[in-house]
Structure 1
Amino acid sequence: MTFDLVVRGGEVVTAQGRFMADIAVTDGKITAIGTGLEGQRVLDATGRMVMPGGVDPHCHIEQMSGMGQMNADTFETATRSAAMGGTTSVISFAAQHKGMRMRDVVADYSARAARGALVDYAFHMIASDVEAPDFADDLAAMIDAGHRSIKLFTTYNIAVSDRAILDVMTIAKARGALVCVHAENDGLIGWTKDRLIVAGRTEPAAHALSHPRLAEVEAVERMCRFAEFLDQPVMLFHISTVEGAAAVRAARGRGVPVWAETCPHYLFMEETVLDHPDGGKWMCSPPQRQTADQAALWQALRLGDLQVVSSDHAPYRYDETGKLSQGADAPFHKISNGLPGLEVRQPLMFDAMVSHGTLGPEKFVEVTSTAPAALYGLENKGALDPGKDADIVIWDPTRSHTYGADDLHDNVGYNPWDGRRVTGWPETVLLRGEVIVSDGACHAAPGSGHFLHRARTGAQPLGTPAREARAVLGD
């Protein structure tokens, strides 16, 4: 049999193992894995590692922040950057603001992505106004339409109350959706921030102090208890501390349906990066922490307490249109938070996990592709299995690259990893069997990305809500 395309002679790497094989593609799907396969087109992967396309489930794209600051990236620029870094599927946000109907929010973001996206995409719905018109009905309808994840904040000016969180969790439970939470205690952050400002500590380095590590710990533990009470699956975003990882481990040990992620900037950066004269470039929330936290996060990935590494791509230019919109000497609380990360997530993690042997190539595939696809319900993504979409990345494991000051393909204008050297490079990227990156260039057309309808998620209830919840909900 002759297939449309064969990726020949590479070392195929999955979350379960690695082996030498050819991969055959027909009509955009993986149709066979074996040896001696014949194709109308052949990509020679000799001496290369062949892995599934990256799945980045935490990206802010073409989004207005709670501070009223617009992201630097459009769907076109962000997903071009994703593709160049070996990521073929993203989950971005459809962000509700005060008074907006959720169905209108989703329709707006869907239209923008359909025009611009170069890779496949889905959305988390950010719910920030539960009093908006027809909120509960709209949320249920959007879940049924395949948008099966909701994001909530416990802090900042888009936070929702504990009671509202429980209401949203209840809707999600009834419709089979996953609730994702930015979990930090608002009172601890606000109290600390205000006193730093009064004391004249307004430099970027004070941002780390303004987010006490216990703010993460308290909110993570609270969300775990809410998940436990309702038996509602919860994903805890960007865990950054020893104690946060321990809280997740303890909850999972009790049988609570919680999952959690971390990000490269928590694995590789420390809070001292904010001491730089342009420290605002590296400001993100939660902030980077300390060496002991990095070790704990790696251990949590090793043990499976953390299941996913996402980018938390939050792109703002370092100029008057972005982070410096309030002036070059703006105090830390008026500098937009976030780092560009879509393009660097995969090479950074490959370098650490594969090239330097930290956890190995199978775990790399698991935490950056297979686990996020499974948890979020991207049923055709994240694995090199017959029947899955032929999203394939051919890695040159020997190629080294040193990042420059502004060498990414997004619209941010700076690279927070300037000067960092990585070994291992995504030289060829296929999306649904089509080569979208080769020879250092992206060949995909804007709007060629597909919306990913999610019929269900892999994060399911365990069937053990609290007695009081069972009485109220009738479970």
Structure 2
Amino acid sequence: MSDYDLIVRGGTLVTASESFAADIAVKDGRIAALGKELGSAGRIIDAGGLLVLPGGVDAHCHVEQESSTRIWTADDFYSGSVSAAFGGTTTFLPFAAQHRGQSLRDVVKDAQERCAPKAVIDYAFHLIISDPTAQVLGQELPALIQDGYTSFKVYMTYDQLKIDDRQILDVLCVARDHGAVTMIHAENNDVISWISERLLERGHGAPKYHAVSHPRIAESEATSRAIQLARLVDTKLLIVHVSAPEAADAILAARNAGLKIYGETCPQYLFLTAEDLDRQGMEGAKFCCSPPPRDEAGQAAIWRGLKNGTFQVFSSDHAPYRMDESGKLKHGPKANFKQIANGVPGLELRLPLLFSEGVGKGRLTVNEFVALTSANPARIYGLHPRKGSLAVGADADLALWDPAWQRRVTYDLLHDNAGYTPYEGMTLTGWPRFVISRGRVIVEEEALQAERGSGLFLDRTPEIEAAGHREPELDPARNFGAELL
């Protein structure tokens, strides 16, 4: 009888803090031992020449979700999770999105019923709160936090999603008091609307004007305001999909001042620019997302932020819409930039892009890569140590990475339903040969081995120690008296 179910032998193990040669033994879906000469197993995988990384944790993706303009993403929970798996991601956190008038409880129930029979990787849900009524804030949200839905997103833009500063403060207080994490889309809606109206009045409706209508100042002002709101009530806040250098500067300054602020960025802000929106005809619509890609100087600033501690999380913000009437072009082939569905696909390429152009080009260490793509999101969103680590007792979620495997990106290579990739034609070096979820080999040499519905829901525990008790605040960088709010 074998000692273990699986042994991964001969690889270089990589965590957020160290790299070392060792074998990994797996029993009952968890890491059972690390070392050499670990014994026998039902299966042994030779990882010679490969890096053995914790499976990726994608903490921001829109899958089988209806937008505020009632457009469904191209991926359902099956195609989205398959795409994630092929890219080395073994856990993802899509959204259960509340639209105005909806019960949060009903939204969560619906998302669970749609995801459970389809997902091939493990999952948890963030909530989207667009209607923070007294019922939601006083009953539904606290109860859902206790049930393991310990993170939620709010918007400062989009007419059908945005909430005002007073409502944001209410949500932040619930998060603080019940041990949850608030994410925020920080753009100034009035600035965007004001510019958009003037552009359209002058006949400027092409996709490239989407970038013009979302200036860096709209992002930086909203980011700074959101930070101050979190400072007022002394709670954690994560600024998502940061694109502008000024917004990044505000996050780093807040972190240096000791505030509980986190930052996230995404592939589109490293590899795309506003010029991509200025392609012939409606080709630019493929690159419309909010905030939009900036310029090469902006890309350089985001790379710096990944290195200097501005950003703790690198997510895909996968928001796939097809280039037809079901998605980007719901309003026809001559839709103006305000009518084009916002979002770009990137779930499968998140890790290969950052590995190739970050680790491969010397911008990041492989340990920093693991921290940004797996360990940090697992910690921030309450999945550590089960996810994001190579520790005994952790789930055996592994990506066996070939750092020398070079491939040219084409849409035919990928597994999502978007119909295109904004990274078409790029040559990337470094891809996973094997992907393992809870000890199950789910991708092996470009072939899927997982069944529909084999992913598990991950309920998370609120940070009880942070809830209900705060020492009196004496640090002038924060807000004295926040414990009374």
TM-score tier by shorter-chain length is over 0.9
Residue in 2 aligned with 1:428? 434
- Given candidates 444, 467, 471, the residue that maps to 2:480 is 467
Aligned partner letter, 2:131? D
Looking at structure 2, the residues matched to 392 and 470 of structure 1 have their Cα atoms a distance apart, in angstroms, of 42
The structure-2 alpha-carbon separation of the partners of 1:156 and 1:366, relative to structure 1 and needing over 3 Å to count, comes to same
Structure 2 counterparts to residues 40-439 of structure 1, below 5 A: 40=41, 41-131=43-133, 133-157=135-159, 158-277=161-280, 278-379=283-384, 380-439=386-445
User: Structure 1 459/62 Cα, relative in aligned 2: closer, same or farther at 3 Å?
Assistant: farther
Matched letter for residue 314 of structure 1: A
Distance 2:333 2:137 in 1: 40
Name whichever of 141-150 and 31-40 sits farther off: 31-40
* CA distance in structure 2 between the aligned counterparts of 1:422 and 1:14, rounded to whole angstroms: 22
- Please report how far the alpha carbon of residue 458 of structure 1 lies from its aligned counterpart in structure 2 after TM superposition: 11
8 Å CA contact 2:178–2:463 kept in 1: the answer is no
Q: For the residues of structure 1 that align with 2:46 and 2:241, how far apart are their CA atoms? A: 37
Q: CA deviation at 1:234?
A: 0.5
Q: What are the Cα deviations for residues 329-382 of structure 1, in whole angstroms up to 9, with x where unaligned?
A: 111110001111110001101102222221111111110000010111112001
CA drift at 1:240: 0.5
Question: Cα distance, 1:114 vs. partner?
Answer: 0.7
Contact 2:71 2:327 in 1 (8 A): yes
| CA-to-aligned-CA distance 1:89-132 (integer Å, 9 cap, x gap) | 00110000111011111111011111111111111110001237
Task: Name the SS of the counterpart of 1:78 in structure 2.
Answer: helix
CA change 1:259–1:37 in 2 (3 A) is same
1:43-77, CA deviations, whole angstroms, 9 ceiling, x for partnerless residues? 00001111010000001011111111111110001
- Is contact 2:179–2:464 with CA below 8 Å preserved after alignment? no
Q: Which moved more, 1:398-407 or 1:203-212?
A: 398-407
Partner of 1:22: 23
- The letter of the residue matching 1:76 is Y
5+ residue gaps, structure 2 = none
Letter of the 1:15 counterpart: A
Cα pair distance change 1:303/1:460, threshold 3 Å: farther
CA distance in 2, matches of 1:134, 1:269: 38
Q: Structure 1 residues 460 and 185 mapped into 2: Cα distance closer, same or farther (>3 Å)?
A: farther
- The 1-side partners of 2:193 and 2:134 are apart by 26
- Secondary structure, counterpart of 1:115 in structure 2: coil
Deviating more after overlay: 355-364 vs 419-428: 355-364
TM-score, normalised on structure 2? 0.95
In 2 relative to 1, CA 39–282 (structure 1 residues): closer, same or farther, beyond 3 Å?
Answer: farther
Find the aligned partners of 1:457 and 1:418 in 2 and give their Cα distance.
Answer: 42
Identify which range, 453-462 or 440-449, moves more after superposition. Answer: 453-462
Q: Which amino acid aligns with 2:155?
A: F
Alpha-carbon distance between aligned partners in 1 of 2:465 and 2:78, rounded to the nearest angstrom: 30
Structure-2 separation of matches of 1:25 and 1:132: 47
Q: Kindly tell me: are residues 33 and 419 of structure 1, through their superposed partners in 2, closer, same or farther at Cα, counting changes over 3 Å? A: same
Q: Residue 210 of structure 2 aligns to which amino acid in structure 1? A: H
The whole-number CA distance in structure 1 between the counterparts of 2:368 and 2:464 is 18
**Distance in 1, Cα, partners of 2:156 & 2:466:** 23
Q: Give 1:407 shift.
A: 3.0
Amino-acid identity (%): 47
1:450 equivalent to 2:456? Answer yes
User: C-alpha distance in 1, partners of 2:423/2:36?
Assistant: 39
Shift of residue 133 of structure 1?
4.9
Q: Which moved more, 1:462-471 or 1:96-105?
A: 462-471
**1:458 and 1:262, CA in 2 relative to 1: closer, same or farther beyond 3 A?**
farther
Provide the residue aligned with 1:36 in structure 2: 37
TM-score by length of 1: 0.97
Say if 1:15 and 1:370, in contact at 8 Å, map to a contact too.
yes
* 1:389–1:432 Cα contact (<8 Å) kept: yes
Secondary structure of residue in 2 paired with 1:168: helix
- The 1-side partners of 2:332 and 2:40 are apart by 57
Q: Secondary structure at the match of 1:116?
A: coil
Task: Note the aligned Cα RMSD (angstroms).
Answer: 1.6
Instruction: State the alpha-carbon separation in 2 of the partners of residues 458 and 417 from structure 1.
Output: 42
Q: Deviations over 1:227-278 (max 9, x none)?
A: 1111111010011011011000111122111101000110111111111120
SS in 2 for 1:333: coil
Distance 1:460 1:333 in 2: 41
Count of aligned pairs: 472
Q: Secondary structure at the match of 2:443?
A: strand
